[in-house]
Amino acid sequence: MNYRNLIAIAFVAVLTAACTKEGTVYQVPLAEARRAVSASVLPPSLFGVQTPDWYVSGVAGTSDVAWIGRKNGKELFRYIASLKEENQSATRINVELKSASDSENPALKKFWLVAINERIASSLERRPFDMQRIQSAKVAAAVGNMGAIRASMEEAAAASERLESSSAYRRRY
């Protein structure tokens, strides 16, 4: 089995476990879960070095919590965490990525969902954020984004060559 197939299988397994339609049940009362989720910050390195401006907001008339990220006035993403009381001491949470930049690839969007689900789980389970739990989704996002990474590197190399040739031309004359 080649490396790419292994990554794809691991990625599907992580997504199935972390992003089910029904969400995840946490043994935390609804009010406490909403406070913890509202206080959660975005996971480390979720957007690389270009972390957008973001804020957390309650959704009026619901127990939902939204994380909204913007860059240069444009909305990049909107996560919605739907919280539903299972019983007095348990809350079901389902997170959806309602909008994201159209230029991003699906594997990257799925990585963002896996990461935000881990952030919520770590907050509610009172433990540190575990990078190992998102690693396969991160690798799949990187593999899925290789074309864009290569194009960006080629563009940077071409710009460097243009700069070098114009500098060399100016030095000779």
DSSP-H helix ranges across 40-145: 106-124, 135-144
Strand 65-71 and strand 90-100: the pairing is unpaired
Rounded-to-integer distance, Cα 57 and Cα 81, Å: 11
pLDDT in tens, 47-60: 666 667 777 787 77
Please say whether the structural domain 3-172 has been given the CATH code 3.40.50: no
pLDDT digits (tens, 9 = 90+) for 101-138: 545 677 778 888 888 899 999 999 999 988 888 888 87
Distance CA(93)–CA(114), nearest Å, equals 13
Q: Where are the domains of the chain?
A: 3-172
Tell me the pLDDT band of 6, cut-offs 50, 70 and 90: low
Cα–Cα separations (whole angstroms), residue 34 to 42, 61, 85? 16, 13, 10
For residues 5 and 72, the answer to whether their CB atoms sit within 8 Å is no
Which residue has better confidence, 87 or 52? 87
Interatomic CA distance for residues 62 and 34, integer angstroms: 11
pTM > 0.75: yes or no: no
